[in-house]
Amino acid sequence: SQPQPLHYLFYNSSYTARHIDLPSYSSAEILPVLFHSSAGNILITVIYRPGSDPATSMFIKEFADLTERLATFAVPLVIVGDLNLHLDDCTRPHVPEFHSLLADFDLIQHVSGPTHKHGHTLDVVITQADTSATIVVNPPAFSDHSLIESTLIMDCQPSSIKTTVTKRKWTQI
């Protein structure tokens, strides 16, 4: 039997965290967690696609399914992790499809520039397009990947929508 992957997500104790049950994907490991605080809710999903195998169309298909499922939560969404996909090289297989998929869901990949010691962008911070992000990519130190620091500004509060309804009695129609 294969060992179960270990997933860790460290967070401030002012948040309440709940793991979201989603299908198991064969092309990547995921850890989706819904966070709640007095400021609102946010869905953070950590994703890791093992780099020992080249990306396949199955990864794109499963990432599309994952993104569609995450979008149903109607809360701010953040996807972070290591895709081991050379996102900086649009001539590579499946990279244009990945970028197109993000556009289809109105998502932005905020990390630009190399995140790996060999000069490629493999790691992501993905949010909805209306999220403001400041990203700092530190050079690799303890790993062959960079440490990515991100500051995200988003509206975690549900928007209140006012609706005015004008009606008449049936007898007056």
Beta strands of the chain (E only): which ranges? 16-19, 29-37, 40-48, 77-82, 107-109, 123-128, 132-138, 147-153
C-alpha to C-alpha distance for 3 and 112, rounded to whole angstroms: 34
Residue numbers of the chain with a pLDDT score lower than 50: 1
Helix (H, G, I), strand (E, B) or coil at 31: strand
What pLDDT, on a 0 to 100 scale, did the predictor assign at position 125?
Answer: 92
Tell me the two tokens of residue 17.
Answer: 């965290």
CA distance 89 to 73: 32
| Cα–Cα–Cα angle for 114, 117, 122, rounded to 5 degrees | 45
Global pTM?
A: 0.83
For every residue of 50-75, DSSP letters joined together read -TTS---HHHHHHHHHHHHHHHTT-S
pLDDT in tens, 40-83: 899 999 999 987 778 889 999 999 999 999 999 989 999 999 89
Residue 87 phi/psi, 5-degree rounding, is -70, -15
